[in-house]
Amino acid sequence: MVGTRQRNRSHDKARSNQPWRFWYRSERWRRKALAQLAAHPLCNRCSTDHRPVAATVANHVIPHKGNEALFWEGELESVCAPCHDGTIRSEEARGHRIGVTVDGRPKDPKHPWNRP
């Protein structure tokens, strides 16, 4: 049985071989990410009025999956590393966001319970 750590390493290695990975090392991306974090310095996912959490990652709201236009022009959100590496990665694997409304219904319209 393969452990979580091994699966994550395999996932990261496969992603590192993608041709679009070099975009993240460009000066253009660094400027764009820093501008996002400067404009929105707190984590969009887990910060609250009573518990502010510093954002360290500029995340694509819609995963670009190698689409160059979406990579450069897509909407970004500021998030902390745990949200980016845990929650967001899980949501992308599931295909919908995590979270419910006050009445217990899933927030994301793409959640299977919200589909007709």
Instruction: Please determine, for residue 113, whether its predicted confidence score (pLDDT) is greater than 60.
Output: yes
pLDDT confidence of residue 49: 84
Domain housing 83:
26-114
pTM exceeds 0.75: no
Tell me the per-residue pLDDT of 85-111, one tens digit each, with 9 for 90 and over: 988 888 777 777 777 778 887 777 777
On whether residue 8 sits in a domain, the answer given is no
Which residues lie below 8 Å from residue 64, measured CB to CB, with a gap of 6+? 20, 70, 71, 74
Q: Are 110 and 95 in contact (CB under 8 A)?
A: yes
What's the rounded mean pLDDT across residues 51-57? 95
On whether residue 69 sits in a domain, the answer given is yes
On whether residue 15 sits in a domain, the answer given is no
DSSP output for 28-96? HHHHHHHHHHHH--B-TTT--SSS--B--EEEESS--TT-HHHHHHS-EEEE-HHIIIIIIHHHHHHTS
Overall number of domains in the chain: 1
